[in-house]
Amino acid sequence: MKYYLIAGEASGDLHGANLMRALQQIDPKAEFRFWGGDRMEAVGGKLVKHYRDLAFMGFWEVVTNLRTILRNIDFCKRDITQFQPDVLIFIDYPGFNMRIAKWAKQRGIPTHYYISPQIWAWKENRIKAIKRDVDAMYVILPFEKDFYEGKHGYPVHFVGHPLLDAIAARKEVSEEVFKKENGLDQRPIIALLPGSRKQEIAKMLSVMLSVVGSYHEYQFVIAGAPSQEYDFYKQFIKEENVHFVSGKTYDLLAHSYAALVTSGTATLETALLNVPEVVCYRGNWISYQIAKRVISLKYISLVNLITDAPVVTELIQGDLCTRNLKTELNKLLDSDYREKLFKDYQALREKLGNEGASERTAQAIYDSLQDKRHYDRS
C-alpha cells in the first residue's frame, strides 16, 4: 500500500522512521512518500521536504514566515494528489498537519494521526477539528487517553511512548570506544543539548556554554543535530573545554554524568537514559509573552508533565542565566540529589508502559486499511 507521512521536526523524523520500519514488517510492498528527515530517508521511499526547512519555533516566527508556510501547504496538497496514497499519516506538527487533514478528509483520504497535538496544553478547541478530520488518533502519553475519551468522548489508541523503542533499539557503544572515537579524555562528560532548529540553538547555546569555565574537572560536549553543520555551532564556541559530536545523541547521553537540555522531546530522552538534567528554555520575547497567556500548564518539560511533579528543574526565559545554571548544575553533581532523581526517573519509566509503540501503531493502521478495502469491495 502507499503511505504518505508528514513529520515537521527532528523527533517526528525519529518516530516516523521507526513507524515506517514497523509498517515494512507487516506490508513488505509498502511504498512511502514523506516530509521528514535523514532517518526516514534511510528507511526508504521519497523524501519530499526536509524538516530543517519547515521548523518555525514560536508565535512570532510563524507569523513572519506565514507566506512560506502557506506555500508549503499548497505544494503538499498537490503532491498528495499526484501520489494518491492509501493513507495519510500525520506525526505531531499540528499547525501544518491539521490543515492538510481537513483538506484530505473532504477528499476521502484516510487520515491517521500518530503522536497527538498537545491540545491538553493549549488550543483545546482543536478537538472539534480532530473529531471531524482525523479518522484515528494514536496517543503516546498515559494521561492523553483520559483527556480525549473521558473529557471529550473521542476514542483514541494508547500505544505507549515510541522513545522506549528508539532507546531499546540503539546499539550500545562502550564509554572507552565512544570517548576515543570522538577525541574525548577520561573526565566525566556534561552534555549540552541546545535543540535542533537554528533559532533555538542560537538562543540556547551561548548561555549553556557560559558555565564551562567553572567546571574544569568535567568536559562539555555539544550534541549536534543531524540537520545542522558544525560551522553553525562553531560561532558560539569560545572555550577550549568544549567538544562536538553530531548525530550521536543517545551514545553521548549514555556516557554523560549530567546534561543541560533544551525543552522538548530531548528532556524525556535524557531522563530515560538516566542522566540528571536541567531543562532550559528561552524563546523570542513576543512569542513567550503570548505563550504565557494561552498555555495553561504547570510545567514545560515532558518529564514533569508525565509525572505531574517537579522532578527536573526548569529554567525558563529570564530564569535561564549563568548564575542559575551553575546553581542547578551543582545540584546535579551532588550524590544525594542524584539518588533521589534516579528514583523519580524509575517512576517515570513505569508510567510510560512497555516498548512496542511503533509496532502497535503500524498494525492498527494496516488493519484499518484492510478493513476499509474489505468494506469498499462489499
Q: What is the mean pLDDT of residues 351-375?
A: 89
Closest CA to 205 of 320, 110, 312, 126: 320
Sheet holding 111-114, edge to edge: 46-50, 31-36, 2-7, 87-91, 111-114, 136-139, 157-158
Angle between helices 10-26 and 162-169 (to 10 degrees): 80
Rounded CA separation 272/270 (Å): 6
pLDDT over 70 percentage in the chain: 92
Mean pLDDT of 258-263: 96
Q: Which of 305, 326, 306, 307 is nearest to 315 (CA)?
A: 326
- The answer to whether the CB of 7 falls within 8 A of the CB of 51 is yes
Cβ neighbourhood burial of 346 (10 Å; 0-12, 13-18, 19+): exposed
pLDDT of residue 284: 63
At residue 377, the pLDDT reads: 60
pLDDT tens per residue across span 105-147: 999 999 999 999 989 877 889 999 999 999 999 999 988 999 9
Which amino acid, one-letter code, is at 67?
A: R
Closest CA to 13 of 37, 32, 49, 42: 37
> Model confidence at 264, in pLDDT bands (50, 70, 90)?
confident
Q: Are 156 and 135 within 8 A, CB to CB?
A: no
Whether the full predicted model's pTM is greater than 0.95, yes or no, is no
Q: How confident is the model at residue 10 (pLDDT cuts 50, 70, 90)?
A: confident
End-to-end CA distance of the chain: 19
pLDDT at 249: 95
65 pLDDT more than 80: no
Q: Quickly state the pLDDT bin for 203 (edges 50, 70, 90).
A: confident
- Is 282's pLDDT higher than 70? yes
Quote the CA–CA distance of 47 and 40 in Å, as a whole number: 8
Distance CA 238, CA 209 (A): 8
Question: What is the reported pLDDT for 291?
Answer: 53
Structure confidence at residue 157 as a pLDDT band (50, 70, 90) = very high
**Domains, the chain, ordered by start:** 2-160+356-377 (3.40.50.2000), 173-352 (3.40.50.2000)
Average pLDDT over residues 9-20: 92
| pLDDT higher than threshold 70 for residue 52 | yes
On the question of pLDDT at 279 being above 70, the answer is yes
